[in-house]
């Protein structure tokens, strides 16, 4: 007999895991406010808020896309390359329509901007269609199909950038500067991406919870064969999911381009797809499909950005160096905490057997190395040894409990 789920009432506003995220965000902010030597949360709260809000909105926009794809039981690894392609398509379109203005750093006019943005979103739709075709008609696993476009689209974007600049401007270039006032406005007004993110989140939330398509997305991710046998056109639902994923990445790409005032296919959005997937997973999405919520992903995104901001405030130098490390640690901790009940109940230990023994020095060295690099060698060694002792104590306690 499976353990039955005792609560059948809808939870208050958010699910328990999501309330935990709210708490975690509050704690992260409070800690930063206390520990940060410059006390920027006290003296310049608006600057910090603006920073976090912009980064959250940009990541959040395509994290929502990743959420929809993951709920439908798929995965989209190509979002980062889609961002690069989107900004490149927008920039090259404007360059082709108004070469003189682009080269002279002058306004290109509303029509060219609109055409550029529309072209980006259209390309997003086309890439989503390509994914859906590869997955449903060619029958590639989603991981393979989007791995191919992860690698391929960035290269394609670069080729597009170089051949367009070679044709239109005197020199071939791997980046295109953007100086139109429309994009400057977007860059300087943080509420624009935040508002877009907010509206998109509400639309996605309605889509997932209150529409037939949303229910079909959940059904598809939960049990694909049963969904087909229930008369759901699963291929069409997948088509929608991958288009939504690619188009949100395309939209985010426009914001990244505005933010950086440049379309740079070589590096723009590189690795961002994993941040989006991480935000969705921290927010409670299951990579097995069928499970996930918009509030969860929004909170997961905020949490990721708040932690990254906290570390950059506390460490000061080169926070981007540690961004990947932070995302990795946060994902591991969030998913571990989600199943902490199983460890607490017993039966399962964190450090079992020979693997557990080897894990103790591994974790201790990791901890020591990170601390030495950020806070100095002496503290690093102390904290590494400290971690080793703590883990060893945990191991002893666990084996006592098992006996």
Residue 215 sits in the site that holds another protein (CB under 8 A):
yes
Cα–Cα distance, 314 to 33 (Å, whole number): 10
Near another protein by CB under 8 A: residue from 222, 324, 352, 356: 222
Contact 285, 65 (CB under 8 A): no
Residue 232 sits in the site that holds another protein (CB under 8 A):
yes
Kindly indicate which of the ranges 12-20, 99-107, 119-127, 209-217 contains the residues binding another protein, using the contact rule CB under 8 A. 209-217
DSSP string computed for 203-255:
HHHHHHHHSHHHHHHHHHHH-HHHHHHTT--HHHHHHHHHHHHHHHHHHHHHH
Task: Show contacts with another protein in window 262-301 (CB under 8 A).
Answer: 290-291
Cα–Cα distance, 295 to 293 (Å, whole number): 6
168 Cβ contact list (under 8 Å, min separation 6): 95, 96, 99
Rounded to 10°, the helix 294-315/191-210 angle is 150
Q: How far is the CB of 342 from another protein (least distance, A)?
A: 13
Query: Binding marks (x or -) toward another protein, 322..351, rule CB under 8 A?
Result: -------------------------x----
Q: Judged by CB under 8 A, how many residues of this single chain contact another protein? A: 34
Complex with another protein: residue 224 or 273, whichever CB lies closer: 224
Residue 139 sits in the site that holds another protein (CB under 8 A):
no
Complex with another protein: residue 170 or 341, whichever CB lies closer: 341
Q: Three-state SS for 10?
A: coil
Kindly indicate which of the ranges 35-43, 187-195, 211-219, 242-250 contains the residues binding another protein, using the contact rule CB under 8 A. 211-219
Kindly indicate which of the ranges 213-221, 240-248, 252-260, 350-358 contains the residues binding another protein, using the contact rule CB under 8 A. 213-221
Near another protein by CB under 8 A: residue from 100, 231, 317, 344: 231
Beta bridge pairs of residue 177: 262
Nearest partner of 72 among 276, 283, 215, judged by Cα: 215
Nearest partner of 239 among 123, 151, 119, 135, judged by Cα: 135
Task: Show contacts with another protein in window 4-23 (CB under 8 A).
Answer: 4-6, 8-10
The residues that touch another protein, with contacts defined as CB under 8 A, are 1-6, 8-10, 206, 209-212, 214-215, 218-219, 221-223, 225-233, 290-291, 347, 402
């Amino acid at each position: 007999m499976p353990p039955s789920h005792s609560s059948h009432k809808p939870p208050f506003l958010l699910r328990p895991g999501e309330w935990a995220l709210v708490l975690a965000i509050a704690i992260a902010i409070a800690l930063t406010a206390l520990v940060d030597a410059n006390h920027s949360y006290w003296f310049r709260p608006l600057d910090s808020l603006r920073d976090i809000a912009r980064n959250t909105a940009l990541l959040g926009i395509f994290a929502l896309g990743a959420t929809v794809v993951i709920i439908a039981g798929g995965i989209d690894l190509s979002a980062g390359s889609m961002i690069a392609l989107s900004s490149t398509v927008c920039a090259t379109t404007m360059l082709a329509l108004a070469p003189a203005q682009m080269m002279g750093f002058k306004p290109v006019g509303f029509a060219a901007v609109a055409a550029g943005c529309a072209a980006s979103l259209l390309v997003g739709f086309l890439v989503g269609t390509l994914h859906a075709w590869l997955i449903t008609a060619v029958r590639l696993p989603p991981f393979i199909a989007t791995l191919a476009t992860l690698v391929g689209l960035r290269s394609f974007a670069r080729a597009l950038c170089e051949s367009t600049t070679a044709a239109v401007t005197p020199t071939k270039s791997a980046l295109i500067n953007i100086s139109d006032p429309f994009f400057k406005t977007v860059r300087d007004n943080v509420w624009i991406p935040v508002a877009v993110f907010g509206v998109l989140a509400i639309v996605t939330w309605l889509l997932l919870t209150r529409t037939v398509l949303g229910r079909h997305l959940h059904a598809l991710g939960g049990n694909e064969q049963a969904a087909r046998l229930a008369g759901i056109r699963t291929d069409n639902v997948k088509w929608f999911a991958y288009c939504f994923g690619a188009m949100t990445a395309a939209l985010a790409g426009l914001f990244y381009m505005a933010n950086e005032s440049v379309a740079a296919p070589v590096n723009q959005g590189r690795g961002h797809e994993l941040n989006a997937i991480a935000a969705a997973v921290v927010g409670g999405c299951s990579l097995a499909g069928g499970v996930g919520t918009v509030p969860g992903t929004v909170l997961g995104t905020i949490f990721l950005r708040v932690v990254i901001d906290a570390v950059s405030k506390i460490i000061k130098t080169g926070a981007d160096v540690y961004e990947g490390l932070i995302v990795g640690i946060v994902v591991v901790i969030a998913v571990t905490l989600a199943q902490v009940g199983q460890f607490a109940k017993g039966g399962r230990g964190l450090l079992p057997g020979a693997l557990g023994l080897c894990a103790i020095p591994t974790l201790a060295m990791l901890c020591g190395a990170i601390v030495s690099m950020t806070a100095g060698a002496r503290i690093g060694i102390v904290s590494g040894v400290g971690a080793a002792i703590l883990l060893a104590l945990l191991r002893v306690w666990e084996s006592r409990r098992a006996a």
